[in-house]
Amino acid sequence: MTDPASPPASAQRRPAEADADVIVVGAGPAGSATAYHLAQAGLDVLLLEKTVFPREKVCGDGLTPRAVKQLIDMGIDIDAPGWVRNKGLRVVGAGRRFELDWPLLASYPDFGLVRTRKDFDEILAGNAARVGARVEQGVNVTGPILDDRSRHIVGVTAKKDGEEVAYRSRVVVAADGNSTRLSLAMGLHKRDDRPVAVAVRTYFTSPRHDDDYLELWLELWDEDRLLPGYGWIFPVGDGTSNVGLGLLNTNAAFDKVDYRDLLRRWIKNMPSEWGFADENMTAPIRGAALPMAFNRQPHYTRGLVLVGDSGGMINPFNGEGIAYAMETGRVAAETVAKALSLGTPARRERALRAYPQVLKDAYGGYFTLGRLFVEAIGRPGVMNFATRHALPHPRLMRFAMKLLANLTDPRDGDASDRIINTLSKVAPPA
């Protein structure tokens, strides 16, 4: 008997001319992590990247212990040259400056890393290739190929070397970032009730390039307005520092702020000995949007699986995306591998349709807390009050660090872990 909720078998059966079991579109952290774990599961994976490595990507380049765990699990050699370790966060605000070490947890390492995206993504793509994924660069995916009867995606069209090409597979993974042309072509649009941030950054030659801490400035003033967001100074270790800021759209001033000008004005207040002057700038100021808290749903539809930024899987508390990109890539790979091992189209489809709920169970409540947080700090006076009254209390700031960075032990943690984990469980999923 045919399951009425399942597509026709022709939509799920791998055709003789298929190029791979799974096509992954986009070789950022999400796509490369997905491809790595799929290849480790024994599947034939084709990873398509529209640019050619090395390539620039707007990012703070900071990796929390949550991200470091994923790198270690994928066998990345984080002791090789170019990886810069840090001990934690240095927080600046309300006339105070203090350091918070990363928490000691059983679930995560006690250190963070910095690595520029110019070669970070290339390293991850190469790691996927090392375990068997086929990586093709310079392939610009232009749209989906749909099965005539089921309207399931069975491949993608693309441009390569100026020519139109087509690739076919059993499942397609969208890891093509915030713009995610593939998701849009499949009818998946952004949700207006989810926060979005803008990040801008540049690099300076600076004596602060080998700092032991990631430095966060909690007060971003636009004349007399305190904006919801933070500035950062991250040591790159190669003689330069990554200097930038991120702002949330939960404030009425969001559309009126010139972010690049704000960054320039903020930098001018830095001590001259830090070297943050125009003549020491090694890259132009670049900006990018950060889609947060599941801002595109559902994360599975008609053979298409969303990972990373394509599904808005960025932490609204702090704007961290790389850790969640790699984590959701792993979850997606496990789901797809399980689905493709099942014997019937109906069972495969049911397994794939479970993916959105798995993500909601893992992140939904926590992202809801993050949405409430960013809505609160977007209100006039709230950010100023929080900064001035929380910073003088080290114990409260250590709790805030765990909450904002999502760093807790699920079992046998301390009281702060239990509070954060309980709040995440009882909050309605995003």
pLDDT on residue 226: 82
Residue with tokens 């702020």: 257
Q: Which tokens go with 427?
A: 């909050």
Spatial separation of the C-alpha atoms in residues 145 and 155, rounded to whole Å: 5
Q: How confident is the model at residue 11 (pLDDT cuts 50, 70, 90)?
A: very low
Distance CA 317, CA 248 (A): 10
Of 137, 73, 82, give the one whose Cα is nearest residue 109. Answer: 73
Predicted confidence (pLDDT) at residue 12 exceeds the cutoff of 50? no
When pLDDT is averaged across residues 103-115 and rounded to a whole number, the result is 97
pLDDT mean across residues, the chain: 92
- pLDDT tens, 196-244? 999 999 999 999 999 999 999 988 888 778 888 899 999 999 999 999 9
Q: What is the rounded CA–CA span in Å between residue 134 and residue 207?
A: 41
Confidence of residue 256 (pLDDT cuts 50, 70, 90): confident
Is residue 80 very low, low, confident or very high in pLDDT (cuts 50, 70, 90)? very high
Distance separating alpha carbons of residues 59 and 166, to the nearest angstrom: 31
Q: Which pLDDT tens digit goes with each residue over 361-411?
A: 999 999 999 999 999 888 877 877 777 777 778 888 999 999 999 999 998
In the predicted model, what is the mean pLDDT of residues 181-187? 95
Dist CA 83 CA 61 (whole Å): 11
Task: Give strand ranges (E) for 120-224.
Answer: 134-137, 139-146, 153-160, 163-174, 196-205, 213-217, 220-222
- Both tokens of 119, joined, read 């070669």
27 confidence band (pLDDT: 50, 70, 90): very high
Is residue 143 pLDDT above 70, yes or no?
A: yes
User: What backbone torsions phi and psi does residue 309 show, to the nearest 5 degrees?
Assistant: -60, -25
List beta partners, residue 200. 245, 287
pLDDT of residue 423: 95
Phi-psi region at 237: left, alpha or beta (left = phi > 0; alpha = psi -120 to 50): left
pLDDT at res. 9: 33
| Peptide linkage before 429 cis (omega within 30 of 0) | no
Give 300-355 pLDDT, tens digit per residue.
Answer: 999 999 999 999 999 999 999 999 999 999 999 999 999 999 989 999 999 999 99
Q: Are 57 and 84 in contact (CB under 8 A)?
A: no
Q: Which of 95-99, 242-246, 261-265, 349-353 has the lowest mean pLDDT?
A: 95-99
Higher confidence at residue 426 or residue 223?
A: 426
Classified by CATH at the fold level, domain 20-86+112-193+292-374 comes out as FAD/NAD(P)-binding domain (3.50.50)
Which residues neighbour 215 within 8 Å (Cβ) at sequence distance 6 or greater? 89, 90, 92, 232, 233, 234
**Alpha-carbon span 71 to 376, nearest angstrom:** 33
- Residue 47 three-state SS: strand
pLDDT at 148: 93
3-class DSSP state for residue 156?
strand
Beta strand 96-101 with 88-93 is antiparallel
Q: Please indicate whether residue 13 or residue 255 has the higher confidence score (pLDDT).
A: 255
- 207 touches 273 (CB < 8 A): yes
Identify the pLDDT of residue 223. 79
| Backbone conformation region of residue 82, classed left if phi is above 0, alpha if psi is from -120 to 50, else beta | left
Q: Which CATH architecture has domain 196-290?
A: 2-Layer Sandwich (3.30)
CA 17 – CA 24 distance, rounded (Å): 18
**pLDDT at residue 40 in the model:** 98
3-8, long-range: CB < 8 A, 24+ apart: 3/346, 3/349, 3/350, 5/346, 5/349, 5/350, 6/345, 6/346, 6/349, 6/350, 7/147, 7/149, 7/150, 7/152, 7/302, 7/345, 7/349, 8/147, 8/149, 8/150, 8/345
In which residue are the tokens 């250590």 written? 398
| Predicted local confidence at residue 2, as pLDDT | 31
- Cβ–Cβ < 8 Å for 107, 77: no
Domain boundaries, given as residue ranges, for the chain: 20-86+112-193+292-374, 196-290, 379-426
For the whole model, what pTM was predicted? 0.93
The torsion defined by the Cα of 49, 55, 58 and 63, in degrees rounded to 10, comes to 90
